[in-house]
């Protein structure tokens, strides 16, 4: 019997979290679900724990291991090549599936057969507080478009993803056939999800958004945004350049152009915030050169110029958003 789903779990130094992650999957995985777990040369006890868990759940986990560390993109790419399921679900090994997620996914796949299924998520904190609940962290919506119905507009799909800016791979379950040899996660790059997932969406003829949290996303202090550096800032500012290269920046629906440009602006301002914090350490010449590189990355990625985006914000009445972007665009060192 053909597997209808492959869950791909990359592992690197996540020993404290791995058992809870995999238990959340195994407890829901019925017939036709394969679970691939790849160790990317962890230096803690992750590999030994993987073997223990495989012995605890016989024939439930398919263990893989890299001979050399390749990073998250390389781990995912290896598992894409090894997977046999009709659909792929990328799950980070410090997160977990929420109860009922896989059953709901199967019902949607059987009734609608979309190319991609989008789900929402909950932020998972070790010490949640009332302010986190008030922020809506128990249910974060990952898509701003229509829910509970089969969609067939590529522009609506892309705009809905870009408007939220939540382009992580683990909230998008996609057909394996979309991931041919020309579509993989970019190895050696940061913000790899933001680079790859819009390209996956370009290949979709249909989509379905389930407006319920299926994934608990663990909030950790060593996330990519919490440990920024020059390389990460440059990758962030240019994360949507592959989309611009694949699609071109002209002739698109206004809603898509605006959502796309706004995400480019968020990427640019996020990178510039890092640069401002590090300006005294980097020195004037290096700071100025990096700022210019970040502006060039925005210009190569966005379907709107900085001036066009500012004008669009004014027309929408988004005064604060427009003023904030203008400040970062015009900042001088």
Packing angle, helices 46-56 and 15-26, rounded to 10:
30
Q: For residue 7, what are the β-bridge partners?
A: 35, 89
- Where do the H-state alpha helices sit in the chain? 15-26, 46-56, 72-82, 101-112, 130-134, 154-164, 192-202, 230-237, 241-247, 254-282, 284-301, 306-316, 319-330
**Predicted model pTM:** 0.94
From CA 95, how far away is CA 17, in angstroms rounded?
A: 8
> What is the overall mean pLDDT for the chain?
94
pLDDT in tens, 37-94: 999 999 999 999 999 999 999 999 999 999 999 999 999 999 999 999 999 999 999 9
pLDDT in tens, 226-270: 678 999 999 999 999 999 999 988 889 999 999 999 999 999 999
From CA 76, how far away is CA 265, in angstroms rounded?
A: 28
Q: Are 261 and 162 in contact (CB under 8 A)?
A: no
From CA 331, how far away is CA 290, in angstroms rounded?
A: 13
Q: Are 101 and 7 in contact (CB under 8 A)?
A: no
Q: Which of 222-226, 245-249, 311-315 comes out lowest in average pLDDT?
A: 222-226
């Amino acid at each position: 019997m053909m597997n209808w789903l492959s869950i791909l779990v990359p592992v690197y130094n996540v020993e404290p979290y791995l058992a809870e992650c995999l238990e959340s999957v195994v407890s829901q995985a019925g017939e036709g679900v394969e679970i691939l777990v790849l160790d990317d040369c962890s230096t803690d006890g992750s590999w030994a724990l993987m073997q223990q868990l495989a012995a605890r759940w016989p024939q439930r986990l398919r263990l893989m291991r890299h001979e050399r560390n390749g990073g998250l993109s390389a781990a995912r790419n290896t598992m894409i090549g090894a997977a046999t399921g009709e659909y792929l679900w990328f799950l980070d090994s410090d997160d977990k599936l929420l109860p009922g997620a896989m059953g709901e996914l199967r019902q949607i796949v059987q009734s609608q057969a979309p190319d991609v299924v989008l789900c929402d998520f909950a932020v998972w904190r070790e010490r949640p507080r009332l302010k986190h609940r008030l922020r809506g962290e128990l249910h974060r919506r990952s898509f701003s478009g229509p829910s509970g119905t089969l969609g067939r507009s590529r522009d609506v799909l892309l705009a809905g993803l870009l408007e939220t800016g939540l382009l992580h791979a683990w909230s998008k379950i996609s057909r394996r056939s979309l991931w041919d040899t020309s579509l993989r996660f970019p190895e050696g790059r940061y913000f790899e999800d933001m680079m790859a997932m819009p390209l996956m969406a370009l290949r979709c003829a249909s989509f379905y958004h389930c407006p319920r949290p299926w994934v608990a996303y663990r909030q950790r202090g060593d996330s990519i945004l919490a440990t920024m550096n020059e390389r990460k800032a440059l990758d962030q500012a240019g994360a949507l350049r592959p989309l611009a290269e694949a699609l071109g920046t002209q002739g698109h629906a206004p809603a898509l152009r605006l959502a796309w440009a706004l995400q480019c602006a968020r990427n640019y301002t996020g990178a510039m915030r890092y640069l401002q914090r590090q300006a005294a350490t980097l020195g004037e010449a290096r700071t100025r050169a990096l700022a210019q590189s970040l502006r060039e990355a925005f210009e190569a990625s966005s379907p709107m110029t900085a001036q066009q985006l500012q004008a669009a914000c004014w027309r929408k009445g988004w005064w604060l958003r427009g003023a904030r972007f203008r400040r970062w665009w015009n900042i001088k060192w």
